Amino acid sequence: MLHQLPFQNRRAALAAAGALALAALGGNVPAHAASYGTPTITLASSYLSGAVGATGDPVVTVTVAQSGADATALTVAASASSRSSVAGTSDVTVTGTGATRQVSVSGRARGYTDLTVKVTGLGGKTATKVLHYAASAAVQNSADTRYLTGSSDASAAVDVGGGYAVVADDESNTLRLYDLAASGAPVRTWDVASKLGVSKEIDIEGAARVGNTVYWTGSLGNNKDGEYKADRNTVFTTTVTGSGASTQLTVGRSYRKLRDDLVAWDEANGDRFGFAAGTEDGEAPKQIDGFNVEGLEFAPGSTTTAYVGFRAPLVPPKSGGKALIVPVTNFDKVTGSGAKAVFGTPIELDLGGLTIRDIRKNAADQYLIVAGSWEADDNSDPYALYSWDGVAGHAPVRRATLPTTDPGGWEAVVSVPDLTVAGARAQVITDAGAADLYGDGTEAKDLDYAEWKKSRATWFTVGN
């Protein structure tokens, strides 16, 4: 009997009895709340962009933890919004379990709001982070639209398989790999400036792929103030390895005199297109008689002759003029060995008074041309898609009228489907750099955060 034991022995016996009782319960008694640490919450990015009515908007990854607790026991939710008219707490969705969650936001209206994201752990302990959210307005064809974040001035795109494309930006020298099936940030980026020895923007505007070689061209024109900038007079190559999400690029060689070659060729042929005048100091490139390259693709069946497509000039430089293509018959050698460009017979296309913003073909030599105005307007002028067989003297055919009421000018076509198939679709990307996406008067290219900059990729029916 315990009362018959000395005091010290009775105390030890009671402690032993308590331990046995705990063991009998299976050791499932939870630790005291004081043993739980304060939860932690980390956002992969503090900035997020969305669009009203969008499908598959970008998400932010959230990582949570709490010492003494399994991460699956933690809850994550939005607890406050600084402007619920843009997006409220009920517009925030959290998915996933464990240490990693995904946060998405459904925008209600254009503008900005700060959303407080809270993790609640065991013992009632909490922690918060602020997600700075920006919503752009609803657009036409929203179900077929995806947003490419990280930059806003998409200017050329090259298909690399699996629904992925490498996209150029005419305001930077960075190439970006995107999954075009989903909205969000690039999978991978390559800054080509140091490899090419340039310090200013190349103003990349056109691209064409032959095998594993991608040819890229700058606009070759003056800047918007009419000043000559040598880095814009650049054509260069990259070599593709892998495909889809595993795509890698290696920068190859470059050529810095294609503009000079074009001017000299035009002067030697009677100054037919006014290239010398269009490149003079003080001449802005985006004029009806200016000088500005925006399209690049190879001739039918050729791996050496490239079609250089012009945004300006219009030929002749007046309303109703035609779009201009100048073939470079040794384009592979121009970039491969620095050979002086050799030119073929120029091609003039009737695009209803519009000029070339991009040109792309498929393996069957079916071409799609993104046609737009030579002017510098964002999206107030007409845009259209034309098909063509690549043969001089054959007329292009209008396939689709592109909407112009939404932000951004149509700038690049990713790939060309079989145009003989009814319902075949092509994905076209905007340059939204000059657009006021969020209603605060700031052009997208001047936004402070890359996550808020974005271009728009939309599918359009182009098949017969």
Among candidate residues 297, 291, 328, the one with its CA nearest the CA of residue 310: 291
The whole-angstrom separation of Cα 36 and Cα 260 is 71
The whole-angstrom separation of Cα 116 and Cα 322 is 54
pLDDT value of position 14: 37
- pLDDT tens for the 464 residues of the chain, in order: 434 434 344 444 434 344 333 333 344 434 455 689 999 999 999 999 999 999 989 999 999 999 999 999 999 999 999 999 999 999 999 999 999 999 999 999 999 999 999 999 999 999 999 999 999 999 999 999 999 999 999 999 999 999 999 999 999 999 999 999 999 999 999 999 999 999 999 999 999 999 999 999 999 999 999 999 999 999 999 999 999 999 999 999 999 999 999 999 999 999 999 999 999 999 999 999 999 999 999 999 999 999 999 999 999 999 999 999 999 999 999 999 999 999 999 999 999 999 999 999 999 999 999 999 999 766 678 999 999 999 999 999 999 999 999 999 999 999 999 999 999 999 999 999 999 999 999 999 999 999 999 999 999 999 98
The whole-angstrom separation of Cα 299 and Cα 294 is 16
* Contact yes or no for 388/358 (Cβ under 8 A): no
For the chain, list the domains and their CATH numbers: 1-30 (no CATH), 34-136 (2.60.40.1080), 142-461 (2.120.10)
**Separation of CA 322 from chain center:** 30
What's the pTM value of the predicted model, to 2 decimals? 0.91
* Both structure tokens of 152: 């806003």
* Contact yes or no for 356/309 (Cβ under 8 A): yes
Write phi, then psi, for 363 (nearest 5 degrees): -65, -20
The whole-angstrom separation of Cα 46 and Cα 429 is 26
Print burial letters for 308-327: b (CB count within 10 Å at least 16), e (below 16). bbbbbbbbebeeebbbbbbb
Q: State the DSSP code for 319.
A: T
**Separation of CA 408 from chain center:** 13
Query: What sign does the CA torsion over 455, 459, 461, 462 have?
Result: positive
Helix (H, G, I), strand (E, B) or coil at 7: helix
CB atoms within 10 A of CB 108: 18
Among candidate residues 3, 112, 87, the one with its CA nearest the CA of residue 451: 112
Find the length of the chain.
Answer: 464
Beta-bridge partners for 356: 371
